Amino acid sequence: MPAELSPIDRAKYVAARRAIGFVEDGMRVGLGTGSTAAWMVKCLGEVVREDGLMVTCVATSTRTAELAQQVGLTVKTLEDVRWLDVTIDGTDEFDPKLNLIKGGGGALLREKIVATASDQMIVIADRSKQVDRLGAFPLPVEIVPFGWKTTQALIEEMLSNVEVMGRSAKLRMDGTEPFRSDQGNLILDLHLRRISNPAQLSLVLNQIPGVVENGLFLDVCDIVVIGNSDGTVELRDINSGTVEHERVDLLDGDNIFVDIVD
């Protein structure tokens, strides 16, 4: 493992390296979006090039598709593939039930569609993403641009009737302009601090006119792979209820594509 990596990046890398062990020859694989998922895409590309693994990939964002093609992966649309064997993605938070908050990278809609169209979802994370209760990370909500201020007001009004500790909904910006998702939509980040009932919140959010999707991924994740900077990983399987600890064996000279820009 390259010594120049920060402890967080080493943790992300070993989680990604272990997660691709779930990918078998001939599989259809969903590729997540974000810094941790980028490590996974690079690692999978290395295995495809060096070991001849044959996989077909569906990307959850334009930037993931570009990175995947750059490292030699075959990328097709979900319309072409229809159903996936596994999706591997990162997360912004996960709780003890492996419920997630995702969307910090702005790809939550495609990420949720791809994850739901998979037989299995594997989440890769460093330990900082683990929380006792969701909500410290702002919850992204994708909304249509038309009437967005009305949608924002409706969301803030709704939040006064649910069990959360914060109630502000801020428009995500990209410099001086509003951030746009790959669908051309806007994103509101809800600063809630603590979500007492994620299932209720997800349901009521998606009933508000103008809301496309929210970043609560509930009962979707099957396995979380938690990486540590010392090269160890923890695997939590929500279906079997097992927790396993392993070490990822790496060569000192491992080249993890430091020349490739995320």
Active site residues: 111
Closest Cα to residue 238, out of 227, 219, 223? 223
The Cα–Cα gap between 44 and 28 comes to: 13
The Cα–Cα gap between 39 and 23 comes to: 15
> Distance of alpha carbon 180 from its chain centroid, rounded?
18
The Cα–Cα gap between 130 and 74 comes to: 32
Written as six digits, the tokens of 38 are 């980028």
Residue 246 zone, left/alpha/beta (φ > 0; ψ -120 to 50; rest) = beta
Residue located via tokens 């900077």: 229
